[in-house]
A and B are shown apart, each in its own frame.
Chain A
Amino acid sequence: MSRAAREQRWAWPWLAPALLLCLAGLALPLLRTAGLAWDAPWSRLPHDARLWHSVAFTVSFALVSVAVETALGLALALAMARPLPLGGLWKACLLLPWALPAVVGTRLWAWLFNYQFGLINLGLQALGLQAVNWFAAAPTAWLALLLVEVWKTTPLLALLLLAGRQQIAEPVYEAAALDGAGPWRAFRAITLPLLRPVLVVALLFRVVDALRLFDSVWVLSSGGPGRATESLTYYTYALYFREGHVAYGSLVSLLYGVALLFAAVWVSRLGRFESDLKEAA
């Protein structure tokens, strides 16, 4: 062992608690899941139409919801970067959906979406429209889940982007304005490129998080109608805990974890995020 390496040996006891915690809490259960998946029927995977449907739903829902959240979050961040009356109040309002436990917030939405007495349907009827049975048809169930997801996650994105926007020095914009750049030009040439690092990291976390969609599906649609809104996490959970397919459920959940890591690497490549990361590390 080299001298330099020996001098750094003090670090390992300091790292031990965190590493032990991760071993006991993450590695051990992962290994146990792998053990359960050992004699799962691999051949079932390609023919599992329900699996591939849930993949398609999860990916398309993640892409649409993250796109909507990003657009809205960006608009909010740019609006909040200006001096507004009652500044602190708006931030507090934005933190509210984040502070509500996801399941609790979603049950409140279940009340709003209630067919007979929910405020949304009462509002539709007051406008002379028909009440909608939100979770009886795939498109409306999709829309309702999307609304809840946007409600839940846009605030965090907006706050992250706002923090990024506040890092950009105001004189940059003043110089651009002097050169005759309009607001759209300034947005394209200054805001967007300088926000890129924050935007990419936020997107990475949001996409991965959206691919893990579970709580709102469990509360609102139970994957229905039929299996229209069955997300991957929900499908895996149902396989193992509702239908008793222990081995196959474990296999799917592990492959899903691996796929998610690949998706994360892919998203980070997409944003040339690796170089930023290496710098940080």
Chain B
Amino acid sequence: MGLPGALDDLKVIDFGTLFSGPYCARLLGDLGAEVIKIEEPLTGDPARRMEPFPHDSPGAEQSGFFLYSNFNKLGVTLNPRTATGRAMFVELIRQADILVTNRPPAEMEALGLDYPRLQQVNSRLIVTSVTPFGSYGPRRDWRGDDLVSFSAGGLTYLTPYSAEDPEKDRPLRAAGRQAHFLAGSMAAAATMSAVLMRWTTGKGQLVDVSQQEVILSMRSPAVTVFDPGKPTARIGPPSGGAVGLVRCADGYVCFVTMQESEWQSLLEVMGNPEWLSSPLFKARAERAKHWDACLRMVEEWTTRRTKEQVRALCQSKRVPCEQVNSPEDIVNYKHLWERGFFQEWEQPAAGKVTTPGRPFVMSGTPWRFQRPAPLLGQHNEEVFCKRLGYSRTDLVKLTEARII
């Protein structure tokens, strides 16, 4: 093992389900924190029933989605709606540095596990709450999934930017569940800000992350430069005359010539075609006005080459350009394997699993894959017996009572 993890002194309780909360806790675990995931007895985290499954073979212990969001954790089952279960939860909190939850604020209050009450148990405790609209304010109890968060935060209105007619082409979220994952990443950063502050104050605090604001914060200048006279809906990328999504022989590439020197280099790559000396395209301002026509001309050149060729030629002259990659393209991209972006491991139910791995590389405190996602209740004995002092016969009774 050798090098330490940056967070190997921290103990985290993951009392979340599905998306943002569990992913936040995993990111802390990736850097060495000890994470105990608490799941509902018998049913577990609903994420266990989410696709993809290996070879399309569903099962609670092999959801790819669950395995990705929950590695580097110990897993226990516990029902905090029972008096005994709640007391055990509080015992775990007493030993913890951080509680991560993405449950609705009203549910945490009903359970008696809201921040003011937990703070009395452990004044150093940091509680990270990540919810669709934040844990306070008039809409704190509103619900939201990924699509609702993207829409509430202002991004759906702009997507896809290549809509032909905003009146006909309905607004879209970005693919996948990126609002949830980003909220988890933001919550991990937010948690660290409270950890750093605790070095000075010695006290914990409530960390509040709203998914609506997470999405809005991706566009920080948009609020400042907002011009009520200017339409923004799904009608082209923000930097007119710079972003070129163009067809190739086998797909698409996207180049971005933000600076004039980059446009000049692109011309050079294309062999300085004659049409570009037209006054329509020569000066940047004119070019921006005739950008679509300009891109169709560029396609005369790109469609005679593969996306890989176009990208390589552009990058050789330092023209910012990337392939429009499909999942298949990404998984087979050699550079990513050489850098160790993908993580491969064995899991008893799922077999060999390949997922995206670390978001960054740290030289002194490496990101580490330490253990696969827990089976449901896998660490009940390790946590409840070794940390809380219950006996194995206690575990039997607690199981029969459906507390664990």
A binds B: no
Query: Which residues does A use to contact B, with CB under 8 Å?
Result: none
* B contacts, CB < 8 Å to A: none
